């Protein structure tokens, strides 16, 4: 099973999802992020889904849950780089990803994280 790598840069954790994720990998990511948040005390999480072509209801729920878990550790999550086709599909599915912020790219995502104080 592929484990998605988590990078720490300053007070922020970066996750870049590059491949077509299996359900197990998404669950593992959730666990790994929780571990890392505790271990590093990071204030923010950026999840880059620029390369992700499909976000179904399961993955959508996982992303929302990651947002909730992060908040428990006083960290904010920003999902960046969602593709237009994915956004339209998620909207049709009725998923609004409440609880996570969104931005066009990692740079804008960082602005959001730094803006909050």
Site residues (CB under 8 A) for another protein? 20-24, 53-58, 61, 64, 80, 82-97, 101-105, 108-109, 112
Asked if 59 and 24 touch (Cβ cutoff 8 Å), the reply is no
For 46, the token pair is: 């950026």
Q: Which is nearer to another protein, 38 or 96 (CB)?
A: 96
DSSP summary character for residue 104: S
| Minimal distance, residue 38 CB to another protein, in Å | 24
| Minimal distance, residue 39 CB to another protein, in Å | 27
Q: Which is nearer to another protein, 17 or 36 (CB)?
A: 17
| Minimal distance, residue 5 CB to another protein, in Å | 19
Q: Which is nearer to another protein, 38 or 87 (CB)?
A: 87
Q: In this structure, are strands 12-16 and 44-48 parallel, antiparallel, or unpaired?
A: parallel
Measured between alpha carbons, how far is 93 from 72 in angstroms, rounded to an integer?
27
Measured between alpha carbons, how far is 70 from 6 in angstroms, rounded to an integer?
14
Q: Which is nearer to another protein, 24 or 74 (CB)?
A: 24
| Minimal distance, residue 69 CB to another protein, in Å | 14
Only one residue has tokens 């730094």, namely 114
């Amino acid at each position: 099973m592929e484990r998605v790598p988590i990078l720490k840069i300053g007070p922020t954790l970066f996750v870049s999802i590059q491949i077509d994720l299996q359900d197990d990998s998404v669950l593992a990511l959730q666990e790994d992020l929780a571990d890392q948040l505790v271990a590093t005390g990071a204030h923010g999480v950026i999840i880059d889904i620029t390369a992700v072509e499909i976000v179904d209801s399961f993955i959508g729920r996982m992303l929302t849950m990651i947002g909730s878990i992060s908040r428990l550790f006083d960290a904010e999550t920003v999902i960046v780089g969602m593709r237009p086709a994915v956004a339209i599909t998620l909207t049709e599915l009725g998923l609004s990803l409440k609880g996570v912020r969104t931005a066009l790219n990692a740079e804008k995502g960082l602005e959001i994280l730094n803006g909050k104080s």
